[in-house]
Amino acid sequence: MAFDRLPARRAGIDTYQQPVAYLRADSAVCLAEGFEAQAQIELIVRGRHVLAILHHVRSDWLRRDEIALSEAAWALLGAAEGEDVQVRHPPQLASLAYLRGKVHGTRFDDTALHALMADVSQGRVSDIHLASFVTVCAGGGLDLAETVALTRAMVDVGERIDWGVAPVMDKHCIGGLPGNRTTLLVVPIVAACGAVMPKTSSRAITSAAGTADAMETLAPIGLDVAAMRRVVEREGGCIVGGSAAHISPADDMLIHVERPLNLDSEGLLVASILSKKVGAGAQRVLIDLPVGPQTKVRTASAAEALSRSLVAVGAEFGLQVCAVLSDGFQPVGRGIGPALEAFDVMAVLERRPDAPTDLRDRALVLAGLLLEMAGKAAPGAGLVLARSVLDDGRALAKFIAICEAQGGMRVPPRAAHTQVLCAPVAGRATAIDTRLAARAAKLAGAPRDPSAGAVMHVRVGERIVAGQPLFTLHAGSVGALQYALGFLRAQPPVVHLAVEP
């Protein structure tokens, strides 16, 4: 009786990271195994195991003798259309006993966290167990030793890259700020000075553009570790995407529940950031901590406590960490969206007179610090060196060389449709709602449509006359433009204007 093996069908349903399997409630396997709707089941194809949530189909789009898979289940199993999927009750997870122990007051040790992160990284732990784990880690739930153990466990269950050189430089920005694409400037400046900086960046998850999305409009980013290594050996730096998934896979699973739970866990945040840096082979890391009313860290004192923890845990892994607080009150540069941010970056590299000075200044500060950390500049001399490398065109030449090494430089796309939004009255710009600006950019199509987004024309503090352009929406279709405009009409203003007497 092979009722537990059914040919696979792609359901065409996207359930984000949660694998879902669809079976008829009256299928032999559901009757035989007693699988209820919303139960966890294990799917097996050619030795690959995936834990999925079961949804019962009660209509005719699925036959009794087949199984349909959501996009996540399909991708994780690597199934082919019609291939047999074995379905069974999931094994009992021994690691969950450690979670229960922690809930009942036992501290986590290396063994416990290693077992838990191994199961988490394999997708064997359900969302509600992940939520339970995040809850016990929240607040002061993890002490320094547990944070170190968690970081180590996250590193151990992922891949770890050894670049065979020292020092390997890296940077990270906590929380994100629209337009803050300093990485695309920092990497070529640092690499042009002879330091090694193999940068892996992520795509946007909730924002209008990630560093990977912006870079992709200028060069290919889908490089594996071997290809990255060739670029870094030749140019000293790279800016690629994606392979982070193999570096700290447990962290990728946890983020999925951390975001909606919205519990502050310093230990989890530190382990998340540092496990990725250790796994990526970094040795000296600069962390940019924007502090503002809508950023992840909202007060200077919270940012300073987090910095101390990052430095202390990093030291356990031989990682030199330096954290700097930065202004998080308004978008950086002008563009919000992959290509629009890439244009800002190119304007700075090409030293064009209209290049956004705030983006340039932030990048120079970070690059200067990294050059000092790398021993390429004396303490206090990094900023001057960084500026000279940018001003004399070496940074631009290095960036072009990196793009060519990654597969060839290209010109970012331009959106077919734009709409300028103007000030209804005169006044002084007192605030820019960075979240609303990012949302408008997303409604216009970013980051899926790399040409879409918004371009800001004003900065906080400026005097604005009535009818002056505040920002321009860019979209690939009239429909997308209309959605973004319709949304904005129902919202408070993106740019707050105080009418002056």
Q: Which residues are catalytic?
A: 264
Burial of 409 (C-beta count, 10 Å sphere; 0-12/13-18/19+): middle
- Contact predicate 258/133, CB 8 Å: no
Sorted by sequence, the CB contacts under 8 Å of residue 227 that are 6+ apart come out as none
What is the rounded CA–CA span in Å between residue 208 and residue 398? 27
Task: Report how many residues bind a second copy under the rule CB under 8 A.
Answer: 66
Which residue among 5, 7, 13, 468 contacts a second copy (CB under 8 A)?
13
Instruction: Characterize the bridge pairing of strands 84-88 and 40-45.
Output: antiparallel
Which residue among 121, 132, 151, 283 contacts a second copy (CB under 8 A)?
132
Determine if 261 is a binding residue for a second copy (CB under 8 A): yes
User: Quick one: 76 or 348, whose CB is closer to a second copy?
Assistant: 76
Site string for a second copy, 185-224 (x = CB under 8 A): ---------------------x------------------
Q: How far is the CB of 12 from a second copy (least distance, A)?
A: 3
Determine if 25 is a binding residue for a second copy (CB under 8 A): yes
Determine if 136 is a binding residue for a second copy (CB under 8 A): yes
Task: Name the segment binding a second copy (CB under 8 A); options: 17-25, 311-319, 376-384, 418-426.
Answer: 17-25
- Contact predicate 121/158, CB 8 Å: yes
Work out the number of other CB atoms within 10 angstroms of the CB of residue 260: 9
Sites for a second copy among residues 358-417 (CB under 8 A): none
Determine if 463 is a binding residue for a second copy (CB under 8 A): no
Determine if 354 is a binding residue for a second copy (CB under 8 A): no
- Contact predicate 191/197, CB 8 Å: yes
**Cα separation values, 231 from 223, 315, 394, Å:** 9, 29, 17
Which residue among 1, 166, 226, 499 contacts a second copy (CB under 8 A)?
1
- Contact predicate 142/312, CB 8 Å: no
Determine if 75 is a binding residue for a second copy (CB under 8 A): no
Q: How far is the CB of 429 from a second copy (least distance, A)?
A: 25
Sorted by sequence, the CB contacts under 8 Å of residue 292 that are 6+ apart come out as 177, 298, 327, 328, 329, 330, 434
Where on the phi/psi map is residue 124: left (φ > 0), alpha (ψ -120 to 50), or beta? alpha
Determine if 128 is a binding residue for a second copy (CB under 8 A): yes
- Contact predicate 297/175, CB 8 Å: yes
Which residue among 52, 385, 480, 481 contacts a second copy (CB under 8 A)?
480
What is the rounded CA–CA span in Å between residue 137 and residue 114? 15
Q: How far is the CB of 451 from a second copy (least distance, A)?
A: 15
Task: Name the segment binding a second copy (CB under 8 A); options: 256-264, 357-365, 372-380, 400-408.
Answer: 256-264
User: Quick one: 104 or 226, whose CB is closer to a second copy?
Assistant: 104
What is the rounded CA–CA span in Å between residue 385 and residue 380? 10
Q: How far is the CB of 257 from a second copy (least distance, A)?
A: 5
- Contact predicate 234/405, CB 8 Å: yes
Which residue among 46, 48, 58, 463 contacts a second copy (CB under 8 A)?
58
Determine if 320 is a binding residue for a second copy (CB under 8 A): no
21 closest CA partner among 49, 55, 63, 59: 55
Q: How far is the CB of 418 from a second copy (least distance, A)?
A: 18
Q: How far is the CB of 38 from a second copy (least distance, A)?
A: 3
Q: What is the largest CA-CA distance in the chain?
A: 84
Which residue among 366, 443, 481, 497 contacts a second copy (CB under 8 A)?
443
Looking up tokens 């050894």 gives 162
Q: How far is the CB of 335 from a second copy (least distance, A)?
A: 19
User: Quick one: 197 or 212, whose CB is closer to a second copy?
Assistant: 212
Task: Name the segment binding a second copy (CB under 8 A); options: 103-111, 233-241, 285-293, 335-343.
Answer: 103-111
User: Quick one: 125 or 349, whose CB is closer to a second copy?
Assistant: 125
Site string for a second copy, 420-439 (x = CB under 8 A): -------------------x
What is the rounded CA–CA span in Å between residue 456 and residue 467? 15
The three-state DSSP-derived secondary structure of 260-324 is: HHCCCEHHHHHHHHHHHHHHCCCCEEEEEEEECCCCCECCHHHHHHHHHHHHHHHHHCCCEEEEE
Enumerate the β-bridge partners of residue 200: 240
Which residue among 129, 181, 199, 276 contacts a second copy (CB under 8 A)?
129
Determine if 88 is a binding residue for a second copy (CB under 8 A): no
List the structure tokens of 364. Answer: 């120079």
Residues that bind a second copy in the complex, under the rule CB under 8 A: 1, 3, 11-18, 20, 22, 25, 28, 31-34, 36-38, 40, 55-59, 61, 70-71, 96, 100, 103-105, 126-132, 134-136, 138-140, 206, 256-257, 260-263, 439, 442-443, 445, 479-480, 482-484, 486-487
